[in-house]
């Protein structure tokens, strides 16, 4: 592996880590700016139809909706809204000098433990601001509710 490819892979890993950190800490504007100006976020939630958001404003609006739901949960139940996304098995394939693709597994930890799991499927583009998501598909494959009921796929 050449040094420029190694640097690109590390910058892409940092991009993915910032996505989780900014989301976990409610920094929706910063999180949305991790996408290219015309980037797309696609969210696939268990058996629901995929939802697509394109551009910083649309993507930030989605993130704000998630943040509002978690804040409402605090208000309604008194439980902690703290969330921790855990990213693993991040595989990055360079497709050109300024483009790459990647996949990773993600687990969401909440106040009661493991809450959700799934995967990210990404396309990355090197911009003047650094590596950005040109496309991210978030696939939520399963969840465990506070009552510990499981919904979705469990692979064993």
Q: What is the pLDDT of residues 93-149, one digit of tens each?
A: 999 999 999 999 999 998 888 999 999 999 999 999 999 999 999 999 999 876 655
Which tens digit of pLDDT belongs to each residue from 39-53? 999 999 988 899 999
pLDDT bucket at 156, cuts 50 / 70 / 90 = very low
pLDDT of residue 148: 57
Q: pTM for the complete prediction?
A: 0.89
Which tens digit of pLDDT belongs to each residue from 9-18? 999 999 999 9
CB atoms within 10 A of CB 51: 12
Residue 42 backbone phi and psi in degrees, to 5: -115, 130
Please state whether 8 falls in left (phi above 0), alpha (psi between -120 and 50) or beta.
Answer: alpha
């Amino acid at each position: 592996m050449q040094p420029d490819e190694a640097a690109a892979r590390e910058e892409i890993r940092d991009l993915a880590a910032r996505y989780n950190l900014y989301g976990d800490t409610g920094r929706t504007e910063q999180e949305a700016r991790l996408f290219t100006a015309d980037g797309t976020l696609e969210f696939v939630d268990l058996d629901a139809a995929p939802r697509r958001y394109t551009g910083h404003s649309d993507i930030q609006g989605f993130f704000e909706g998630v943040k509002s739901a978690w804040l409402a949960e605090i208000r309604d139940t008194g439980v902690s809204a703290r969330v921790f996304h855990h990213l693993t098995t991040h595989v990055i394939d360079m497709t050109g000098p300024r483009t790459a693709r990647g996949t990773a597994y993600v687990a969401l930890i909440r106040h009661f433990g493991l809450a959700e799991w799934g995967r990210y499927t990404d396309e990355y583009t090197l911009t003047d601001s650094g590596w950005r998501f040109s496309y991210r598909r978030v696939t939520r494959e399963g969840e465990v509710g506070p009552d510990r009921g499981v919904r979705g796929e469990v692979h064993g």
